[in-house]
């Protein structure tokens, strides 16, 4: 099977596409071609659409005539995917929901059920975004990971000192665990500085600012850590940690809308005992979390094979 993946430059979106590709590769023989789309305006995307559809040359920058399936995540990829469908007459798949006026052109949209979309033949509901699973290197029962999000005024109010106080309590209450704490691009410097100050007095607590960690560091930590705490605003990392098989807890943030889709998604995981929510009363054991199989990328990959390549499934997958 030949797959062409369109990449738009946003790491979170690209991870979703590549997670599905990796699961497909684990199920069958797959040749992958990645195409990075240039950043452009809406008018530029329209020009790109017509260029792909009507150009007799190589508008994507490489040959796609042998492609069996096109895959892309993020709005930047949508028009280009539709153009590929029109030119090459092959299925197109995306994660998340395209705009309603574009949705009917897609053969399959893998959409988190917390988005509240109505069912349709080309909609496949997932329990969260497809994320890369982490191979278990050697999980350490005395190793923990804490991932800190940060500012996003559209969704929540960032209360850095409260977050740091909560992290300090978790670390102090679990002295037998060695905790690695990492920030994100959204974490204010003031929060990182406060974490570093608190780490001085705690022997089992080390801070790793995101810009000082190499590529793949977080995935390696997932694979090695038994326990992971994530701030609620970093929902994708919650799903990554659950998929990796960690026992996962979520640190609350102050949402602008307490009934938003992200909190609904976390509530869903909590009801299934896949995560724990931080309890201000101090009952914060993660030992009861189910660290079993949870892999939405695998479900998406199986759905793709079932819909478009059923012969592969009949051959024993």
DSSP per-residue codes, 233-250: T-HHHHHHHHHHT-EEEE
pLDDT reading at 163 higher than 50? yes
- Biggest CA–CA distance in the chain, Å, is 66
| pLDDT score at 57 | 43
pLDDT of residue 91: 97
CATH no. of 2-131+296-314: 3.40.50.2000
Residue 210 DSSP code: G
Q: What is the pTM of this model?
A: 0.83
**Mean pLDDT of the region 235-252:** 94
Its CATH architecture, for the domain 140-277, is 3-Layer(aba) Sandwich (3.40)
Q: Look at residue 11 in the predicted model and tell me its pLDDT.
A: 84
Note whether 69 and 90 are within 8 A (CB): yes
Residue 292, both tokens? 């079993």
Per-residue confidence band for 139, with pLDDT thresholds at 50, 70 and 90: confident
Beta bridge partners of residue 29, listed in sequence order:
none
- 57-63 contacts: CB < 8 A, separation 24 or more? 60/4, 60/35, 60/84, 61/35, 62/33, 62/35
Q: Do domains 2-131+296-314 and 140-277 have the same CATH topology?
A: yes
pLDDT single digits (tens) 16-53 = 999 999 999 999 999 999 999 877 666 666 666 666 65
**Strand ranges (DSSP E) for 170-306?**
178-182, 205-208, 225-231, 247-251, 254-255, 275-277
Q: Which residues pair with 71 in a beta bridge?
A: 5, 93
pLDDT computed for residue 277 by the predictor: 93
Q: What is the average pLDDT across 104-122?
A: 93
Q: Minimum mean pLDDT among 12-16, 126-130, 285-289: which range?
A: 285-289
* C-alpha torsion sign, points 129, 135, 141, 143: negative
Q: How confident is the model at residue 285 (pLDDT cuts 50, 70, 90)?
A: confident
Domain boundaries in the chain?
Answer: 2-131+296-314, 140-277
């Amino acid at each position: 099977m030949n797959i062409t993946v369109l990449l738009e430059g946003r790491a979170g979106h690209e991870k979703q596409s590549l997670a599905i590709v990796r699961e497909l590769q684990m199920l069958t023989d797959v040749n992958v071609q990645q195409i990075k789309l240039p950043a452009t305006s809406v008018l530029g995307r329209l020009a790109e659409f017509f260029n792909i559809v009507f150009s007799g040359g190589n508008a994507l920058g490489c040959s796609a005539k042998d492609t069996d399936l096109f895959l892309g995540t993020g709005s930047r990829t949508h028009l280009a995917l539709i153009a590929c469908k029109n030119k090459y007459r092959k299925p197109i798949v995306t994660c998340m929901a395209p705009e309603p006026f574009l949705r009917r052109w897609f053969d399959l949209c893998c959409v988190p059920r917390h988005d509240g979309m109505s069912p349709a033949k080309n909609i496949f509901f997932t329990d969260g975004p497809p994320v890369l699973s982490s191979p278990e290197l050697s999980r350490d029962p005395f190793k923990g990971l804490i991932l800190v999000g940060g500012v996003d005024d559209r969704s929540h109010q960032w209360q850095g000192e409260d977050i740091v106080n909560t992290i300090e309590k978790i670390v102090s209450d679990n002295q037998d665990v060695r905790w690695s704490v990492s920030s994100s691009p959204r974490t204010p410097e003031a929060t990182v500085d406060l974490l570093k100050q608190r780490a001085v007095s705690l022997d089992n607590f080390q801070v790793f600012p995101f810009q000082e960690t190499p590529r793949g560091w977080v995935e390696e930590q997932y694979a090695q850590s038994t326990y992971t705490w994530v701030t609620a605003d970093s929902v994708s990392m919650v799903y990554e940690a659950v998929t990796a098989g960690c026992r996962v807890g979520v640190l609350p943030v102050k949402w602008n809308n307490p009934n938003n889709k992200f909190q609904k998604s976390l509530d869903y995981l909590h009801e299934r005992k896949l995560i724990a929510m931080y309890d201000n009363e101090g009952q914060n054991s993660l030992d009861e979390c189910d660290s079993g199989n949870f892999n939405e990328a695998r479900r998406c990959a199986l759905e793709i094979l079932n819909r478009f390549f059923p012969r592969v499934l009949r051959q024993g997958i």
